[in-house]
Amino acid sequence: MKKITLEPEDIKVEPLSESNKNHILNFSSTVCQELDAFLKENAFQEHILGFSKTYLYFYRSELAGYVTILTDKQTLRLERPHQDLKRFQTKTENGYTTIPALKIGRMRVSDNFNSQLETAKYCGLGKIMFASILDHAKELSTKVGCRVITTHAKKSTGAYLWYQKLGFVYSHNEEKTKELLAKEEYNAIPMFYDLKRII
Ligand SMILES: CC(C)(COP(=O)(O)OP(=O)(O)OC[C@H]1O[C@@H](n2cnc3c(N)ncnc32)[C@H](O)[C@@H]1OP(=O)(O)O)[C@@H](O)C(=O)NCCC(=O)NCCS
């Protein structure tokens, strides 16, 4: 089935709140149970506690996806030279060992909007959601230190390939990355996106 490509103006974003949290119960997805459980069981509590902030993405009146963000840091692993972290590593004479970051803690779209599913009617929502995360990061970086966006990309859903397409790179060097990708005991792989490519 040919999918309908969504445009930013098709989507309405709302921070999770008392007045819209009833929509969470109808969120339907089969791809990753753990991400659904987080939305239904923990997202609101974390939101209230100020541990993370969750944003809901609506297509018409349907909850189509959500993103949970929080602050983070990208570690500079000086003992393991990294091609993309090299430019930061040369600035660490003053003892910097981390880079301030905004983290994508959770992110998912419902089945009907998952571009990888044959049965989905729509595509393009993930990209629209990422554009809004970039807006948050840009705004944050005008007020506090924030240089990269980090994430732990799921292996089982192929999310790391999607992040790669958007311009994310692996947070570990090549050797460690190969190990993380190869071994089953690792279910996610850390990645980052340098904001300076857009700011
Ligand atoms: C990852 C996810 C958010 C992407 O959302 P989406 O709406 O399906 O993605 P988009 O339609 O915006 O995709 C943008 C591009 O990436 C491609 N893409 C999407 N998912 C991909 C994947 N898993 N692997 C490789 N490419 C992928 C699309 O084909 C599209 O390519 P194009 O620009 O050449 O047409 C969504 O698939 C999802 O929720 N997955 C399950 C949960 C998950 O893994 N979340 C990430 C948590 S770490």
**3-class DSSP state of 89:** helix
Instruction: Decide if 104 is inside a domain.
Output: yes
From CA 52, how far away is CA 61, in angstroms rounded? 24
Nearest atom (ligand 1) to Cα of 128: 12
Residues 6 or more apart whose Cβ sits within 8 Å of residue 175: 80
Closest CA to ligand 1's atom 48: 153
Backbone angles phi, psi at 195, to 5 degrees: -65, -20
Beta bridge partners of 59: 11, 62
Residue 199 lies in a domain: no
In a domain? residue 49: yes
Residue 46 lies in a domain: yes
List the CATH number of the domain containing 105: 3.40.630.30
Q: List pLDDT tens digits, range 52-86.
A: 999 999 999 999 999 999 999 998 876 777 777 87
* Cα end-to-end span (Å), the chain: 38
Q: In this structure, are residues 11 and 57 in contact, taking their beta carbons and an 8 Å threshold?
A: yes
Does residue 44 lie in a domain region?
Answer: yes
Query: With a threshold of 0.75, does the pTM exceed it?
Result: yes
* Predicted confidence (pLDDT) per residue in 22-55, tens digit: 999 888 778 777 888 899 999 999 999 999 999 9
Alpha carbon of 49 to ligand 1 centroid (Å): 30
Q: Alpha-carbon dihedral of residues 14, 15, 20, 21, nearest 10 degrees?
A: 140
Q: Does some domain include residue 98? A: yes
The residue contributing the CA closest to ligand 1 atom 7 is 126
In a domain? residue 88: yes
Q: Which structural domain range is residue 50 located in?
A: 4-194
Helix, strand or coil, per DSSP, at residue 179: helix
CB atoms within 10 A of CB 180: 18
Using one digit for the tens of pLDDT, what is the confidence trace for 91-128? 666 667 889 999 999 999 999 999 999 999 999 999 99
For atom 33 of ligand 1, which residue has the closest CA? 124
Per-residue confidence at 199, pLDDT binned at 50, 70, 90?
very low
pLDDT confidence of residue 77: 73
Ligand 1 mutation pick, 152, 162, 164, max ligand atoms within 8 A of CB:
162
Residue 197: burial class (beta carbons within 10 Å; 0-12, 13-18, 19+): exposed
Residue 97 CA to ligand 1 center (angstroms) comes to 32
Domain tally, the chain: 1
Ligand 1 site residues (CB inside 6 A) read 31-32, 35, 107-109, 113-116, 123-127, 151, 153-154, 157-159, 161-162, 165
Atom of ligand 1 nearest to the CA of 165: 16
